[in-house]
Structure formats: structure tokens, C-alpha cells
Amino acid sequence: MRIAFAYDKRQVMQALRYHFISRLEIRLLIIAVNVFAVGSVVLYALGKVTPFAFLLSSCLWLVLTIALWWFLPWVVYRQTKAFQFDFEMQFSKSGVELFREGRGNAWQWQSLHSWRETPFFFHLYFTAQSFWLVPKEALEDAQRLQLRNWLREKVER
């Protein structure tokens, strides 16, 4: 099956958020900062900390939220030039081929580390940090089902 696609910035930004939130270290950081923020609220309510300490913990929570939700995806999107180009992909039982302007790369299914499905994309991971986004809107329903089945069969999740 062969598809052609270009990336939509809003959808890519959302996919990057899913990627970052799925990382264990990011989830642990979010949990730690939220526990710290809740603890500061409780301590402030009990009169154990000053309003300045409460304000500082609230600012820390706000900065982390802004950094993870807007800034980090924006930086990655701006630095990754691939999101600006049009691509074609060929999926087969043996693997995936990616084409841009007549040149291509091919990967066997075994070279994929894992995969994830989000509302707009299939994320094909080569390593824990290196992945390729396949837009679902470029696939017809039957193609989407076939790709999902191949990923389930041939790649660990």
C-alpha cells in the first residue's frame, strides 16, 4: 500500500505532546511537581509556609506545564525540517519505504523498536527517541486497518 502526505502543524504538535508525555522520566517529573504543588497548598493552608513559598511552587508548576505542553513541542517542530516536506510511504509485508523527491529509505519491520497509535498518527519508533509519524488521514479505512494489523504482527508495542 502506498500513501502520500504532508504534515499539519497542529496535529504534529499534538503528536509531539503525546510522545513527551509517554516518556517515563517526563511522567515522573510531572508527578513529582504535582505532589510538590499539592503539598505546598496543604502547608500553606495549615500556615506552615509563607505566601511567597506557595507562589514560588505555583510558578514552578506553571513553568513546567508551559514547557512541556507548548515550548518543547514547538522547539522540536521548528528544528525538525522533515515536517515541512511532502512524503510518500510504501508499506508491505516486509517493511516500510519512505520517499521524498525521488529518493527513498527502506526499513524492515524488525528494525522498528515499537509503535504507538494516537488520534492523528501512527508513531513508528526506531529507538526510544527516534520515530516517524504516519498521518492517519493519509490512509483510507481499509489501509489503516491493514497497517494496524501489520504493526501488531511484526512490531512489539
Q: What is the pLDDT of residues 108-150, one digit of tens each?
A: 999 999 999 999 999 999 998 899 999 999 999 999 999 999 9
pLDDT greater than 80 at residue 58:
yes
Share of the chain above pLDDT 90, in %: 78
Same domain, 150 and 99: yes
Q: Which of 55, 79, 103 is the last residue of a domain?
A: 79
pLDDT greater than 90 at residue 102:
no
Q: What is the residue range of 24's domain?
A: 9-79
Question: For residues 154 and 157, what is the distance between their CA atoms, to the nearest angstrom?
Answer: 10
pLDDT greater than 90 at residue 46:
yes
Same domain, 91 and 75: no
Q: What is the mean pLDDT of residues 74-93?
A: 95
Residue 54 — very low, low, confident or very high, per pLDDT cuts 50/70/90? Answer: confident
Same domain, 46 and 97: no
pLDDT greater than 90 at residue 71:
yes
Same domain, 92 and 66: no
Q: Which of 79, 94, 126 is the last residue of a domain?
A: 79
Same domain, 40 and 65: yes
Write the CATH number for 138: 2.30.29.30
Query: How many domains does the chain divide into?
Result: 2
Q: Which of 79, 104, 134 is the last residue of a domain?
A: 79
Q: How many CB atoms lie within 10 A of CB 141?
A: 8
